[in-house]
Amino acid sequence: MLGVAPVEQILASVSAWARSRPDVLALALVGSWACGRARQDSDVDLVLLVSEPQMFRRDERWMAEIRWPDRRVVGWHDADYGVAWSRHVRLEPAWEIEFTFCDPSWAATDPVDPGTATVVSRGCRPLLDRAGRFEGLLAVTAP
């Protein structure tokens, strides 16, 4: 299983990259790593609120901009999820990071989209939140 230290190193690298990009408005760790329930086969799930989600699909150079600590990209595949899309990036040694790119409206709070509420309720740790979008979303979805 991936230990906490390697995951934190990856998160630091991705966060530094996101801070360097004005088109990345917010970044959050979601899912099992965010809530402390990661398993042996858990990937690292990230949600990015960006001004143009499809630009990251067309221009693959962003993956090379991230300073991966002791890792390298060995492949990826994309998946569509309605208003969002994900790039599942495989790193060597064998593990995966899912980057989900969303328009900022994904984090709307009035009303909160049921799919967004489900993602956030399963664990959400903001890593970059320039306009407080994740902070606002967590405030209205907290139990």
Write the pLDDT tens digit of every residue in 122-138: 999 999 999 999 999 99
Report the alpha-carbon distance of residue 105 to residue 47 in Å, rounded.
13
Is residue 64 exposed (0-12), middle (13-18) or buried (19+ Cβ within 10 Å)? exposed
Mean pLDDT, the chain, as a whole number? 93
User: Does pLDDT of 1 surpass 50?
Assistant: no
Percent of the chain exceeding pLDDT 70 equals: 97
Instruction: Give yes or no for a contact between 53 and 85, defined as CB atoms under 8 angstroms apart.
Output: yes
What is the predicted pLDDT for the residue at 70? 83
Distances (CA, A) of 101 to 67, 70, 84: 19, 25, 6
Beta strands in the chain (DSSP E): 24-30, 44-50, 72-81, 84-92, 95-102, 124-129
User: Does pLDDT of 40 surpass 80?
Assistant: no
Domains of the chain, each with CATH number or no CATH: 4-141 (3.30.460.10)
More confident residue, 112 or 94: 112
